[in-house]
Structure formats: structure tokens, C-alpha cells
Amino acid sequence: MNLGIDMNRKINIHYSVADNLVQKLKIQFQSKMIITLKFDSRSKPSTANCNSFQLDIDANDSIENLKALISLRYSDLDPDNFDLYYKGQFIKTNHKCIYIQEVLHTTELEIVANSRMTDCCRLI
């Protein structure tokens, strides 16, 4: 009995919808990344109870936003008082976080105190 339904067309539509959903999920997944951050001896805030931690961030966010997130997590660590490095290489704040993964091939950075950070100015 033929009800006038083209089953091949119906199956193709379902595949097309499924492919679109998979592509959207891939894009969402690719835009999120977890960055592992490690303190150097001078930059570790008094509120930190470990030497490293992880942050979830959108890959299209700037390094400047990443520094702001770090400061939100550790309120005694001002974003102007530290820089981010990978194997001694300074990470510029105008880069996007995806730069870390695509160019440096890592998601691990080090938080290093800069010359504006001195022990006399740290909050305890």
C-alpha cells in the first residue's frame, strides 16, 4: 500500500537534520577550552591553596578576559600585576585564547608576576 510518502526523501531529511545538529555541537564544543594555569613563586596569591588550577573559557575570548577571570577567582591578584607565559614566551593580551591551542599547541600557561607586583602591595 503506497500512502504517497517517499521514504528515501524522508530518510534524507532526517540525515540532514542530524548532520546539522552534529555540526552545531562540534562548533559549540570547539569554542570551549580548558586552560591549566600554574603560579610562579612570586605570583601565587595568599588565597590560593594549590600551585595550579584550571579555567573553562570560550576559545574566542581574549587573553585579557582570561586574566580578568583569573582575578575574579583570586581577588588578591590584580590583572595588571601578572602576565601569562608559555615556556618563557610572553602571551600578549590582544591574542585570543584559541591562539594558545592552535599556535602554541598547548593549554597550559604560567602566571608570572611582573614588575608592577611587589610584596608590599599584595593583599593578605
Digit-coded pLDDT (tens) for 38-64: 998 888 888 888 889 999 988 888 999
**Residue 95 φ/ψ region, left for φ over 0, alpha for ψ in the -120 to 50 degree band, beta for the rest:** beta
Quick: pLDDT tens for 78-108: 889 899 999 889 999 888 888 888 888 888 9
- pLDDT score, position 124: 32
Q: Are 71 and 40 in contact (CB under 8 A)?
A: no
In this prediction, residue 75 has a pLDDT band, given cuts at 50, 70 and 90, of: confident
pTM, two decimal places = 0.66
Identify the structural domains of the chain with CATH numbers, from first to last.
32-121 (3.10.20.90)
End-to-end CA distance of the chain: 81
